[in-house]
A and B are shown apart, each in its own frame.
Chain A
Amino acid sequence: MRSLRRHLLLFVTLGTVTLLALGGVILFFSVRSSVREGFDEGLQGRAQALAAHLRLEVLPAYRHRMATLGAAVHGGERTGDEAARQALVALASEALRVRFQLDTDAYPEYSAPDGSASFQIWTSDGRELARSGSLAELSLPRLAEADAPVRFRDVTLPGGGAGRAIALDVAHVPFADEAWNEAWARIRGGTPIAASSAVVVVARDRRDVDDLMAALLAGLLFSGLVLAAGAGALAYLASGRALRPLTALRRQVESLHAEALHERIRLDNLPSELTPAVAALNDALDRLERSFTRERELASRLAHELRTPIAELRAITDVARRWPDDPQLQARAVDQGHEIAAHMTRVVSVLLRLARAESGEIPLESAHLQLRTALQASWLRLEALASSREHTLEVRIDDAVHVDADPEVLDAVLGNVLQNAAEHAPRGSVIEASVARDNGTIQLVVSNPLGTSEGDAPDPEGLGLPLVRALTRAAGIGFRIATRDGRFHASIDLPRAS
């Protein structure tokens, strides 16, 4: 079974865990990136500091020749002695040498035996220029596989620890003499000269960074777990509190039963999210109560309607059984039993028609019907009742009055209205049928004098008038009853035949 609370709890907890994990990952990587960036900046600073100690010098054996070619190039700048310049560049690989001089006292970390910081410098053609004392006999990688002038990589330090290294390409190592620098820059132009470049590699122990990141990760995981557990607990408490109205609602709904259908679920103190559903439930209860009331009324009417014929049948059979040797009595009992069965069949038929009318199962047709004829035909079927009660029907309706109606429905409606009048009017009454209004809708009024007895009034528990109401409602025909001027009036609105 689906549990709203479990669903809510799962959703909130998983959602919180997911958001926390996502936030933790973003935080972790951004901090790591920032820390590494700072670490790399430090490395780069160190590499640049080491590079600042690189100097280019001309070997003594080549100084004169270099000076001569330099003068030729200087003159060629104006005369275009390109040959002298190319000769000078070609001579550079032999005449120039990169030199590195460092005061190791100023950088004691490079001498530490634990190898936490080390460097190694090469010329571009692979000749090692210098190395830190911390390296001893070991070497750092030159990180030459990438093309960038500055390259970083995590490395294993010579001592076996985790480290990070930078490789800094120094393309133009400067001369110690500033005048040579300017001249040499003019001579070489944009051409890279291997003899005047170097690679500085610096490596540092990165355990502090790794420890920091591990601590950060552990902190994030721990706080994430705590927050997730807290979120779950909060979700549990909040869902319990939020669902409390549902518990109260359940108790109210449980208290509803067939004998208390008039009760409704209270809307006060309900969360706004539940109010529409509960209002709809109350509407459904309204419909259910009306349906139950109709069923009970129908059952009550049926019981009332059947009491008299059953009483007749029982009295007849009781008397016949008491004197079983009287053939005349037995024969009369059988005949009367048959009549009563026929009457009860009619009652059941009426009941079925009522049920069908209320469920809309009676298919409706429309036909032009002469109202006077329809009334007289219905009255004819009540002849026995009417003559026993000495009633007469006075129809004050012109032959020209025609209505559009379903013949079966109209016959049932008129039959029940007339029967009601015949049963309840005082003996010897004149029952009148007339048209009270004709404006596109014919208002037929059937009236009878009221008696002084309760028995003269329409039986409130009988089936006749409820049947007429149900039929007219199903057929869309207006029907009203009223008592005025000492008469009972039944008004039926029928569409005039077009």
Chain B
Amino acid sequence: MRLLLIEDSPRLRESLAEGLGRMGYAVDVVDEGPRGLSYARLNPYDVIILDLMLPGMDGITLLRTLRAQSCDTHVLILTAKDRVEDRVLGLRAGADDYLVKPFDFDELVARIQALVRRRYGQKNPLIELGCLTLDGTAGTVRRGEDTVALTPREYSLLEFLGLRRGEVVSRIEIEDAIYNERSLPSGNAVDSAVCRLRTKLEQFDDGPRIETRRGKGYVLVADSA
């Protein structure tokens, strides 16, 4: 899943990017309003994490501009403004969630996960993929009681494909979802990642399968549990 973090505090920006990246998210970071707006316009983010007091353009203006341009990316406002009227203003400007600083990192992650699930119409944090269960809350894949060892990127890819199981997903969509701007993949990186994940999944007879649709992309096929 790809996130955009617009935050002017360098330390907070870096620590959140570090933590979310380790959770398997592809995170782009921006420190001021105008650049944040252009990033949000140009990239298909799953969630935008938006500070309000930003140089160049404040978060509310940025959010209203995005909504006016029909950008429907879920936006989570992350700010020190804790008054009720500030929350109401942010939510009415088009935010999907509002979190006041200081906050718990796990709570931020949980809220991001909820917004991601909402984006893909998934209420249940557990995604059943044949004999495997992807736990979006814990960030793990299990078969029964056993945990399947996946790298964060493999997990992220499986989650992305799992949320869109049965749909053909193009390479570009995969690239946008699991890579940020600092880790732009080389030409066949997506194919390599899919290949590695496919190999790991093939060890389970009744697990999900990643099928290639030549010229179109990939589709995850999973039997109902």
Contact = CB atoms under 8 A, between A and B. Distances in A.
Contacts of A318: 19, 104-106
A323 B8 CA distance: 25
Contact of A455 (B58, B102, B105): B58
- Central interface residue in A319, A322, A452, by most chain B CB within 10 Å: A319
Nearest to A318: B105
A454 B64 CA distance: 14
Interface string A463-476: 00000000000000
B55 A322 contact: no
A308 B82 CA distance: 12
Contact of A453 (B16, B19, B55): B55
Nearest to B54: A455
Contacts of A336: 11, 15
Interface in B30-70: 32-33, 52-61
A217 interface: no
B151 interface: no
Contact of A339 (B11, B59, B61, B104): B11
B138 interface: no
B18 A307 contact: no
B19 A322 contact: yes
Contacts of B82: 307
A60 B16 CA distance: 159
Contacts of B193: none
Interface string A298-321: 000000100110111111101100
B23 to A, nearest CB: 8
A307 B57 CA distance: 21
A426 B32 CA distance: 10
A307 B58 contact: no
A329 B101 contact: no
Given A322-B19, A427-B56, A451-B55, A311 B80 contact: yes
A322 B22 contact: yes
A454 B60 contact: yes
Nearest to B78: A311
B105 A322 contact: yes
A21 interface: no
A427 B53 contact: no
B95 to A, nearest CB: 15
Contacts of B18: 319, 329
A456 interface: yes
A427 B57 CA distance: 11
Nearest to A321: B105
A459 to B, nearest CB: 7
B50 to A, nearest CB: 12
A307 B101 contact: yes
Contacts of A323: 22
Interface residues on B, range: 20 to 34
A3 to B, nearest CB: 49
Interface string A200-219: 00000000000000000000
Contact of B33 (A310, A313, A455): A455
A44 to B, nearest CB: 105
B12 interface: yes
B120 interface: no
Contacts of B52: 454-455
A453 B58 contact: yes
B31 to A, nearest CB: 9
A72 interface: no
Given A340-B11, A455-B8, A307 B102 contact: yes
Interface string A388-403: 0100000000000000
Contacts of A322: 19, 22, 105
B56 A456 contact: yes
A319 B15 CA distance: 7
Nearest to B57: A453
A322 B82 CA distance: 27
A315 B11 CA distance: 9
B204 interface: no
Nearest to B51: A455
Interface in B63-106: 80, 82, 100-106
Nearest to B58: A454
A336 B9 CA distance: 12
Given A316-B15, A336-B11, A452-B57, A310 B32 contact: no
A454 B55 CA distance: 8
Nearest to B55: A455
A321 B121 CA distance: 32
A426 B11 CA distance: 20
B8 A312 contact: no
Interface in B92-129: 100-106
18 contacts: A304-B80, A307-B80, A307-B100, A307-B101, A308-B12, A311-B101, A311-B103, A315-B102, A319-B15, A319-B18, A319-B105, A339-B11, A424-B55, A454-B60, A455-B33, A455-B54, A455-B58, A456-B55
Closest 8 CB pairs of A and B: A318-B105, A454-B58, A311-B101, A319-B19, A307-B80, A311-B102, A455-B53, A310-B102
Interface of B: 8-9, 11-12, 15-16, 18-19, 22, 32-33, 52-61, 80, 82, 100-106
Given A454-B58, A459-B53, 10 more contacts: A304-B80, A308-B101, A312-B12, A314-B103, A315-B12, A318-B19, A319-B22, A322-B19, A339-B11, A453-B56
